[in-house]
Every structure is written in structure tokens, then in C-alpha cells.
Chains A and B, each alone.
Chain A
Amino acid sequence: MILLGFVDDVLDVPWRVKLLLPSIAALPLLMAYAGHTTIIIPKPLISYVGQEVLDLGWVYKLYMGLLAVFCTNSINIHAGLNGLEVGQTVVIASAILIHNLMQIGASSDPEYKQAHAFSIYLVQPLLATSLALLSYNWYPSSVFVGDTYTYFAGMTMAVVGILGHYSETLLIFFLPQVLNFLLSLPQLSGYVKCPRHRLPRFNPETGLLTGTRDGTLINFYLRMVGPKSEKTLCIHLLLVQALGCCFCFLLRYLLAGWYK
């Protein structure tokens, strides 16, 4: 993915290629995934499904492939403000790290611990290098990160989520990105006219950004809370990200006894 991201940054490849190639880049991952392809049905739904555990087989592998494609592209579209791409990665990666440590501490299954340790060994370098980039990319940005970074970060997090066997938790960490994706669907699918850039409108006199009618989380948030400066807006969105992660932890805690 790093290779593809860099090639995309240099050559500006068409979007169809952007969707196809991550699917292929994810294949070694799927081949190497030697874990279960079953999901545990939440207790309240057992009566409807009829089973406690459902083996999805190849559908699970398809889900993992789609997850990889989703993660890589979702960070890429939830972007455009100084420090947003790296910032969201730092927030999510920190949450992943905490999650891994908690799971290792709370578990007694050595294989389970190894899976989360595997995730730590990859998330820590991601965090370290991203923090270094953030030191230059935070408002006001001296450098931009390019698709190279967003693809790299997205794929790394998808990889650790899949090989650490906690992809559902990962998806909840990605809640703002999911929201952004859903908001973007009408324009991405072509149903609504999609401009080249869907950034909020900048007013040079006031120095504030105003939300347009484009379907992104950034614009949606601005339309809700009113015009904001770029730095404040980015901080707000990162707080939203962090809140989403906390919500995930809360959810897991509440459902721990009841859910799985």
C-alpha cells in the first residue's frame, strides 16, 4: 500500500484503480489469516439465528478484504484540514494500543495474548512515525502527507485489526470515518454532483471555514456548530474521534458480560 500510495501521489491514478489495487494488496493478509471465520451471535439474537456461533467461511474473508479497502480509503476522504489525517490516525492508533494492552492484561489465553501482542508490535511504530509527521503537519502545516501516508496508515490499522482478531472493535474506533463514508455515498456514487474537492469554504477576511452542502463529516459538523477556524475545527473533530473511541470502550465494558 505504501508503494501504491506513492505511485498515486506521483501519477494521480484514476479512482477505479484506487479501489482495485488495495483489494489485491490485502490478499497476502487474507492468505495468512489462520484464525477462525466464525462470529459469536449476541445472546439476545440467538433465538432468531438459531445458533450460538455462526461460521461465515469465505464471507468472513470477503468482509476482511472489504475492511482493508475501507480503512485505506476512509482516512483518505476524511481529510483536508491541517493535521486531520495524521491526527485521526494518532487518536485511533492510541486507542488500539490501549485496547491491546487491556486485552493482554485481562486474558489468560496465550494465543489470544499473542494476537494482541502482534498488533502492538505494528501499532507502536505506526504511532511513533506518525507523531513525528504530526510535528510538521499540525496547524499551520509545513508539509502535506499525501496519499502515501493515508494508504499506509489505513492499511496498517486494517492489518492489525484483522490479524489481532478484533476487527469489529476496530470498526467502532473508525466510527467517524464510517459516518463520513455514509455522508459521502450520494456524491461518491454519482447520485449527487461531486466536485473535485469537497472542502468547506474559506473566508479570507474572517479566517473562518463555513460548511458547504457537500456530504462530508467536516461540512456536516460546520453546518451544525457554525463557522470555525481551521485549527479549532480540527481539534473538535479529533475530540469527536477520541469520544468515539471512548464510547467503544464503554460499549465493550457494558456488553462484556452480556455480549460475548
Chain B
Amino acid sequence: MAARKRASAADTKPSPPPQTQETTTLIDPPIAPPKKALIFKFCLFFSIPYFYLLYQYYTIEQELRRSILINASLCVTGFFLTQRMIPVASRYVLKRGLFGFDINKKGTPQGTVKVPESLGIVVGIVFLVLAILFQYFNFTADSNWLVEYNAALASICFMILLGFVDDVLDVPWRVKLLLPSIAALPLLMAYAGHTTIIIPKPLISYVGQEVLDLGWVYKLYMGLLAVFCTNSINIHAGLNGLEVGQTVVIASAILIHNLMQIGASSDPEYKQAHAFSIYLVQPLLATSLALLSYNCETLLIFFLPQVLNFLLSLPQLSGYVKCPRHRLPRFNPETGLLTGTRDGTLINFYLRMVGPKSEKTLCIHLLLVQALGCCFCFLLRYLLAGWYK
């Protein structure tokens, strides 16, 4: 669901005389320079728990740690590559008319600036390149690992393709639901793990067993999870920096979680599984951070805000309540603040609770909510660790 109004042929203002147009496009970059300070601050902040967990708090095997660090250094390169490619891609994208106007700036001069769309494609391609190249450097890889890894890449690559096709062609929502299910299939095929769930101790008396094998239901759950995650980030969107920001927050939490699990566990297969996750989350984090610098403005529980947003949205998505094309808050050009409408999104709900906010403040608040949700998840696991599993 694009939150930027897609420019139609009728809306495009007549371009200035050809000579000035050409010289300006040659001399000036098409977009503002990246907000490097913000990203640098985040990296500094995040590297503290990252390195602490990796080196101090836990003793992790030399080889495993080396693979993780090789992956991390590859990702640093990926970050700079993505940051360099985004302005380049922006030119091409603008040339082909793939741009929108910022609805939340309508009525101000910034609302007339053409903002290039679909720069997620740069992130996606660099991510894939990093992930493909890493296979060569992971010396602990065996053929089973390669199968799962390539199945993961196939699913991700297919989704990137579908996302870009959707951005260009604007496909109907039924297709948006169907195709991620198919994109997730390689993943489900490659999943060679258990399909059992461990019943929480208090419920054992009701269920009658300690461990319940869900079989194909578990696989169905995984398929639905894939469809949910892809679409939920898409609908919890619309503010400068929200989509990439929420991804960065969740990915960081995932990374910390993986490191903690590797450190605390002694089962090599369990460690490998979490290492696998690290090898894909680090490139995601690195490439997303690069995009964020231009865009500023135990897994389901990390997505707590997205789940909330989805539940709030249900009445409108199901058609029970009238659902407009965009469900963004109302922008007041005079005050520069956003006010919550009666639409069922987390953004509007939050605004109705705390009152009108500027777009930037609102986004930071929502990302803090996201981060709090992740902290809550860690706390929950810690408290239940002895009691739950």
C-alpha cells in the first residue's frame, strides 16, 4: 500500500525549459545527501551490545565467531555500496516516472518535490549479492546447509521480484496474498526441522502431553507467518522512515536474540540454526541502514506493534467498515502536525491517544514503541525461561 501519491500524467507539472533542466540534472544529485550522522549514532549504540555478546559475555567457538565476523565485514561493504547506489538508482527511477509526492507534506513546498519510489530494489539486489557471495566464505557449510540457504534466497528473491513488479504495475490485493504464499514454498520444502511445539508447563495438564507434533499444521503456520510478515510491514507504513525503521529495530532485536541463543546453548545444531539466521539478518540490517539514511524521515512477539496494527486494521481490510485508499493521519500545513483520523491503524490510534504530533516525532515515538515491544519480548523470555520451557 503506497503511502505516497503516485504521480499521474495529468498531475505532472510542465517541466522547465530543456537547457536548464538538463544542466541541473547533470550537476545536482537527484536527492538530498544521506543522513550519515543518524546512522553512525545507531551503529555506535548497537555495536556495544553486539560486540559485548559476541566476545565478552559468551564464549563462542572460534570458527563460528569467525564466520559471523566475515559476514559482518561483508555487510559493512554492502552498507557503503547500497549508500552509493541509491542516488544512482534514483536517477533511473525518476527518469521512468516511478516517483510520488509526500502526502504528509501536502500544502508545503516539500509536498511538490518528486520523491523517487521503489528504492527497495537497491536494498534487495545488494542483499542478494551479499548473501550469494557469503556462501563462498562460509567454511562450515555442508550440502544440507546449502540447500536450506539457497531455498531461503529463492524465497527472498521471489518476494523482491514481486515487490518490484507490484511497485511498477500496482497489482490487485488478491495477487498480493497469493504470490507470497508461493514465494514461501521453497522455504517450506527446505524446512527439515521438527514440527513439534513444546507445551508450556501450566497447560500440560489440559493438553495431556509435554510435546505436541503439529505436522502439516506447523508448516501451514509457517506459510501464513511468511505472508503475514511481508504484508504487515507494508500496512504499518506511511511516515518518513517508518518501514525501514521498524525493520531495523526488529532486525537488531533478532540479531541480539540469535547471539544470546548461540551463547547460551550447547547444542551445535541449535547454534547452527541461529548462526544461519545471523548470516541473513546482518546483510538485511546493513542494507536497510543504508536505505534509512535516505529515508528519514521467538519472532511473532518482535512483531507486536505490527500484530496490533493488523488487528486494528481488520474491520477496514475485511470491508466491514469503509476502507479509503489511504488511511494516513490528517496533515495540517499551517501547524505542520499530523492529527489522528478514525481509521483503524496503529498510527492513528496512537495519535488519538497522545494528540497531534509532527511527522518526525511521531515516527520516533512509533519506533520507540517497536523497540519497547522487543525489550518486552526479551524480558518475557527471561522471566519464563525457567518456568516456561
Contact = CB atoms under 8 A, between A and B. Distances in A.
Interface of A: 2-4, 6-7, 10-13, 21, 24-25, 27-28, 31-32, 34
Contact of B153 (A2, A12, A21, A28): A28
Contacts of B96: 10-12
A3 B133 contact: no
6 contacts: A6-B164, A6-B168, A11-B95, A24-B132, A24-B133, A25-B132
A11 B133 contact: no
A223 B121 CA distance: 43
Report, nearest first, the 9 A-B pairs whose CB atoms are least far apart. Answer: A11-B92, A3-B161, A27-B132, A31-B135, A24-B129, A10-B168, A28-B150, A28-B132, A2-B161
B125 interface: yes
A2 B143 CA distance: 25
Chain B binding surface SS class: helix
B136 interface: yes
A28 B129 CA distance: 10
B160 interface: yes
A3 B121 CA distance: 9
Contact of B93 (A2, A11, A27, A28): A11
A11 B89 contact: yes
Contacts of A31: 135-136, 146
B164 A7 contact: yes
A6 B95 CA distance: 16
Contacts of B89: 11
B157 A3 contact: yes
B229 interface: no
B151 to A, nearest CB: 11
B150 A32 contact: yes
B197 interface: no
Contacts of A13: 92
B39 interface: no
Nearest to A12: B92
Contacts of B124: 3
Contact of B160 (A3, A24, A27): A3
Nearest to B161: A3
A10 B95 CA distance: 10
Interface of B: 89, 92-93, 95-96, 98, 121, 124-125, 129, 132-133, 135-136, 143, 146, 150, 153, 157, 160-161, 164-165, 168
A10 B167 CA distance: 11
Contact of B143 (A6, A7, A24, A34): A34
A31 B160 CA distance: 22
A46 B47 CA distance: 60
A3 B125 contact: yes
Contacts of B157: 3
A196 B89 CA distance: 22
Contacts of B150: 28, 32
A6 B167 CA distance: 12
Most buried by B among A4, A7, A24, A34: A7
A50 B92 CA distance: 54
A110 B75 CA distance: 42
A3 B132 contact: no
Contacts of A28: 132, 135, 150, 153
A27 B135 contact: yes
A25 B128 CA distance: 9
Contacts of B93: 11
Contacts of A7: 121, 125, 164
B92 A3 contact: no
Contacts of A27: 132-133, 135-136
A16 B353 CA distance: 53
Contact of A32 (B121, B146, B165): B146
A3 B164 contact: yes
Nearest to A26: B132
Contacts of A34: 143
Contacts of B132: 24-25, 27-28
A24 B98 CA distance: 26
A32 B157 CA distance: 17
A148 B211 CA distance: 48
Most chain A beta carbons < 10 A, residue from B98, B153, B157: B157
